[in-house]
Amino acid sequence: MGKPMSFYENRILPHIIDRACSMGQVMKLRSQIVPRAKGRVLEVGMGSAINLEFYNPDNVSLVYGLEPSEGMRRKALPNLARSPVQVEWLDLPGEKIPLDDHSVDTVLLTFTLCTIPDWQAALQQMWRVLKPGGELLFLEHGESPHDSTRKWQHRITPGWKKLAGGCHLNRHIADLIRHAGFEILELENLYIPKAPKIAGYIYKGRAVKPAEV
């Protein structure tokens, strides 16, 4: 068993993360990726469920919300109450997804892959539960291609992780997704306007789990 969450992790950090992840420009980006989800959806790191307003309820039959933080699940209650989308909570970390093989049509990752300690195990689990031909939709921040920003990302990340729930500023999100076997079909990179560059370099796109031969 993992260590119990501290007061900071359970009571304070959820509010900080929710505020940072719901800024206007971030919500605009969410509105561009979340509506593309369809069928049975696994949202990894569902947090306070701020993506719910962007789901198309006509295209989504169920959302499995993977979220190990009790504080985040508690903060999600108002968003759940407003949404017509059915949500089933899974309160385990991303490395331990309690779903059957090939049981979901879409996996959604929004500002989550930066925080998962064992990203490789988590992506392997996402691959396992996703149907062949299913899609991985992602909106993440990560390593910048620009030397000056990237150097600061590597320098700051060790201390940043301790304050920001394990968030890594310096993960190359596209490489991690490809490493897990997914084929990236669409990829857009940009800096969030007015955000600090060390935390604002975005990877937004769509990948697929190739159909089995």
pLDDT at 68: 84
pLDDT at 96: 82
pLDDT at 24: 65
Distance CA(186)–CA(10), nearest Å, equals 35
The 10s digit of each residue's pLDDT in 140-187 is 999 999 999 999 999 988 888 777 777 889 999 999 999 999 999 999
In this structure, is residue 2 part of a structural domain?
no
CB 45 within 8 A of CB 111: yes
In this structure, is residue 27 part of a structural domain?
yes
In this structure, is residue 117 part of a structural domain?
yes
The 10s digit of each residue's pLDDT in 64-93 is 999 988 888 888 999 999 999 999 999 877
**Other CB atoms within 10 A of residue 166 CB:** 14
* Count of all residues that appear for the chain in the document: 213
In this structure, is residue 213 part of a structural domain?
no
> How many structural domains comprise the chain?
1
The 10s digit of each residue's pLDDT in 6-53 is 443 444 334 444 445 455 688 899 999 999 999 999 999 998 899 999
In this structure, is residue 167 part of a structural domain?
yes
- Mean pLDDT in residue range 118-130: 95
pLDDT at 22: 53
Distance CA(76)–CA(73), nearest Å, equals 5
Domain CATH number, residue 200: 3.40.50.150
Report residue 145: phi and psi, to 5°: -80, -5
**Most confident residue range from 68-72, 90-94, 115-119, 187-191:** 187-191
Identify the domain containing residue 101 by its residue range: 7-208
